[in-house]
Amino acid sequence: MTEKVKFKWNGKEIEADKGSNLLKAALDNGIEVAHYCYHAGLSVAGVCRMCMVEQDGVPRPFPACNASCGEGIVVRNDTPKIKSSIEATLSFHLLNHPLDCPVCDQAGECGLQDYYMKHGQYDSQMVDKKVHKDKVQDIGRNVMLDAERCILCSRCTRFTEEVTKTHELGILNRGDHAEITVNEKLKNNYAQNLVDICPVGALTSKDFRFKQRVWFLEEVQTTCIGCETGCSVKVSENKNGAFRVKPSYDHEVNGHWMCDDGRNIYKHVSGALRLFGAQENLNGLFVPVDEFKTHQLAKGKTLKFILSTGLTNQEYEKFFEKIKGKSAQVALYVLPNQGEDFDGLLTRGDKNPNLRGARKAFEDAGYDSSQNALDKLLSSVSSNDAIFVVVPEIIYNEDHFNTLISKVEKAGLKIALTHGETLSTLRAFDFLLPIPTFVEKNGDIINFQNKKRALRSGISYGETSKDVSYYAGWVNL
Amino acid sequence: MILKSDLYREHGFLKGLYLGLKLTMITMLKNIFKQERMTLNYPEEKYFYSDRFKGKHVLTVKEDGTLRCTSCMLCSTYCPAQCIHIVAADDSDKEVEKAPVSFEIEMLRCVFCGFCEEACPVDAIRLTNEYEMSGHAEQEWVADHYELAFRKSLNNGKGIVSTVDDKDRLKLRL
């Protein structure tokens, strides 16, 4: 237990750990302090000089990010001296800034815009020519660099030095010619975090580039389903679709970061292949059909379900409740491991988002979730069966899933429960029935630490009112 | 009611009636013999509105003939009718960086408030004094950027050149 100290910031009493970062203590207590270079997940640089404070008994202002909390200190950042200091600092930051906000993707969530509206001078005192640097540089891993917009806060270089330890970025030259440079191309799997931590529009995402303005987007706080880690993420979306995934702070799981693979998990949510209702396979072409037809065809057949590991605990629970005491066979399809088991930061080889929850639900309901049970179910498939396969939302290894599809071919009625017509091999199925994706359902999943993490629903882009348990209700025909 | 009007109150009923009818008769006779009419024989005669009139939109072009719009989406953000739909994309020119691939205005939704014109940072969209926008119900009432920028009435299909060209913009950047 660390010692707690009390001090005053603008007259407000704050309690914090002794010796902890002064700026962090203020930010954690809901005080707005302008800052660019400080990031809670990185080391302190103290280069932006925006978080200046005055302390009683100290003659000069100093940056709060480089100071520590002490008992009884009295700190202010609302004095005229500090205000003029921030104003002057900001005008230095903006000296060579190209002001291309209309074409900049960061506009709307830009630190320069925000603080300029708050602390700005509104009149440029610059008379000389602005220094021009290289624009629109593709530095790899879906990151675009615009050296002109950079304010040299050095967050990105510290990220590649401290978090990924790959050292791709550096600051070259001196004075107003200093600029962020990449030695080759970015090569780490966490590169798009640079886009998030960049307080201005210098580093932007190529994937999100010019797709939407950020003020049109709403953020849904949910959990990543890319692997078993279960990072806490925010999905930005509006009625036109989902557009990007950003990490949100969760100190137990992912801290401030997430991997680049996880940034792609939104793509199937609002794509052109999304399912809006039941579809029937007519010689390889899927056409909309009334779900009632499927219902009728399934009558009198033995129903067999192959569940995926991407459902929520609540969905498993409801599913097993529906088929309780009825003669349905259920097995679990587990996605194969992909890549190394653990890359040392966040990504894990086990790509099943809720394997632990699924196993527990199978156990509680008295079903076998092992590979043997799946093999047994597949080997017993006959023409009198109606087989329901829940297609996993994200499939890294398509071949592995396609072998599963090839094994169910003997069934009389083959139905895929899927969010969309994502794989060409889905043509082996007779019907496609829609289920919601991860941003369209509320529920819990259990991550690699056996901890519950929540999925939250935002806007719906397809038929989402029917989940797996709805189709399980067809068993008692 | 009519007896309460100023004319009757001042002059009494009979004189008031006489004065009122006199004005009516004078105007009628004037119209019969002098043909002073307020209406126009539309469409043979057309009324000319001033340049400040808020009529059909125009997208301005740069000197090289490409669209001036940088697709910053400020107009579609401000638009109270939400009738402006822009799809942006990368431009091959690094200095331009972002340009629209599609710019559509739903003409029936538009309320011609002129907010888009005010929001635009680069003089890319203007409202003209073109007011003839009649058409058929089955017609698509979505104006795309070919119609908005290069219709016949605008400089014979060449488009109107914006006051802010990229060259000027780069000069402004010093």
B167 φ/ψ angles, rounded to the nearest 5 degrees: -60, -45
* Domain termination site, one of A194, A210, A226: A210
Compute the average pLDDT of residues A172-176.
89
- Both A460 and A329 in one domain: the answer is yes
The pTM of this model reads 0.84
Q: Is the model's pLDDT at A277 over the cut of 70?
A: yes
Strand pairing class (A143-145; A4-9): unpaired
Q: Region B100-107: what's the mean pLDDT?
A: 93
Contact yes or no for A426/A391 (Cβ under 8 A): yes
Instruction: Give the per-residue pLDDT at B13.
Output: 84
Distance, in Å, from the CA atom of B33 to the CA atom of A436, rounded to the nearest integer, reads 78
> Is residue A347 in a domain?
yes
Task: Evaluate whether residue A268 is within a structural domain.
Answer: no
- Boundaries of domain holding A160: 126-210
- pLDDT tens per residue, range B24-35: 999 889 888 877
Q: Give A98's contacts in chain B (Cβ within 8 Å).
A: 173
A47 and A145 co-located in one domain: no
Contact B90 A107 (CB under 8 A): no
Interface check B14 vs A, CB under 8 A: no
Out of A27-36, A141-150, B160-169, least confident range: B160-169
Q: What percent of chain B has pLDDT over 90?
A: 39
Cβ separation A135–B174 shorter than 8 A: no
Residues A168 and A290 in one domain: no
Predicted pLDDT at B169? 59
Please give the pLDDT value at position B43.
86
Q: Do B77 and A216 touch (CB under 8 A)?
A: yes
Q: Is residue A356 part of a domain?
A: yes
Mutation test of the interface with chain B: which of A101, A103, A176, choosing the one with the most B Cβ atoms within 10 A? A103
pLDDT of residue A161: 92
Average pLDDT, stretch A414-429? 85
Task: Write the pLDDT tens digit of every residue in A366-381.
Answer: 888 888 888 888 888 8
Instruction: Look at strands A74-76 and A4-9 and give their pairing.
Output: parallel
pLDDT-based confidence at residue A326 (cuts at 50, 70, 90): confident
Length of chain B: 174
Does the beta carbon of A124 lie under 8 angstroms from any beta carbon of chain B?
Answer: no
The answer to whether residue A226 is domain-embedded is no
Give the residue on A whose Cα is nearest the Cα of B92: A136
Q: Is residue A110 part of a domain?
A: no
Nearest to B174 among A130, A210, A211 (CB): A130
CB contact under 8 A, B174 and A128: yes
- Contact call for residues A357 and A316 (beta carbons, < 8 A): yes
- Tokens 């939109």 — which residue? B57
| Token pair recorded at residue A329 | 């066979």
Q: State whether A312 and A394 are in the same domain.
A: yes
Task: Pick the residue of B69, B72, B170 with the most A CBs within 10 A to test the interface with A by mutation.
Answer: B72
Position B1 confidence tier, pLDDT thresholds 50, 70, 90: low
Amino acid found at A232: S
Q: What is the DSSP letter of A2?
A: P
CB < 8 Å to A130, chain B? 173-174
Of B77, B98, B174, nearest to A103 by CB-CB distance is B98
Q: Is residue A133 part of a domain?
A: yes
Average pLDDT over every residue of A132-154: 90
Q: Is A138 on the interface with B (CB under 8 A)?
A: no
The two three-digit tokens of residue B44, written as one number: 């043979």
Task: Give yes or no: residues A300 and A449 share one domain.
Answer: yes
A125 touches chain B (CB under 8 A): no
Task: Write down the residue that tokens 């800052």 correspond to.
Answer: A35
Residue A236's pLDDT is what? 93
Same domain, A468 and A406: yes
Of A98, A130, A213, the CB nearest to B73: A213
* Sign of the torsion angle spanned by Cα atoms B126, B130, B136, B139: negative
CATH classification at residue A415: 3.40.50
Does residue A185 sit at the B interface (CB-CB below 8 Å)?
A: no
Determine which of A145, A210, A211 to mutate to test the interface with B (most B C-beta atoms within 10 Å). Answer: A210
pLDDT band at B174 (very low <50, low <70, confident <90, very high): very low
CA distance A355 to A447: 8
Residue A71 has pLDDT above 70, yes or no: yes
In a domain, A263, yes or no: no
* Mean pLDDT of the region A332-358: 89
Give the rounded percent of residues in chain A with a pLDDT score beyond 70.
99
- Whether A210 sits inside 8 A of B94 (CB atoms) is no
Q: Is the backbone peptide bond immediately before A98 cis, with ω within 30 degrees of 0?
A: no
Same domain for A370 and A441, yes or no, is: yes
> A with B: how many residue pairs have Cβ under 8 Å apart?
40
Calculate how close chain A gets to B51, using CA atoms only, in Å. Answer: 27
Contacts of B97 in chain A (CB under 8 A): 100, 103, 135-136
Residue A206 forms contact with B (CB below 8 Å): no
Q: Is the ipTM of this complex over 0.90?
A: no
Rounded CA gap, B134 and B117, in Å? 23
Boundary (domain end) residue, out of A210, A237, A271? A210
A455 sits in which H/E element: strand A452-455
Cβ within 8 Å, pair B97-A136: yes
CB contact under 8 A, A136 and B88: no
Q: Are A71 and A93 in contact (CB under 8 A)?
A: no
Q: How many domains does chain A have?
A: 3
Interface contact B121-A102, CB threshold 8 A: yes
Strand partners, B67: B61
CA–CA distance, A38 with A66 (Å, rounded to integer): 9
The one-letter amino acid at A436: P
Question: Is the CB of residue B94 less than 8 Å away from at least one CB of chain A?
Answer: yes
Domain shared by A430 and A285, yes or no: yes
**Domain identity same for A401 and A463:** yes
Residue A137 has pLDDT above 60, yes or no: yes
CATH of the domain at A137: 3.30.70.20
Last residue of a domain, one of A210, A232, A262: A210
What is the distance in angstroms between the Cα of B155 and the nearest Cα belonging to chain A?
28
Q: Are residues A295 and A368 in the same domain?
A: yes
Tell me: do A190 and A319 sit in the same domain: no
| Residues A63 and A132 reside in one and the same domain | no
Asked if the Cβ–Cβ distance from B94 to A135 is below 8 Å, we say yes
Whether A172 maps to a domain, the answer reads: yes
- pLDDT, one tens digit per residue, over A184-243 is 888 889 999 999 999 999 999 999 999 999 999 999 999 999 888 989 999 999 988 899
Q: Provide mean pLDDT across the span A275-304.
A: 85
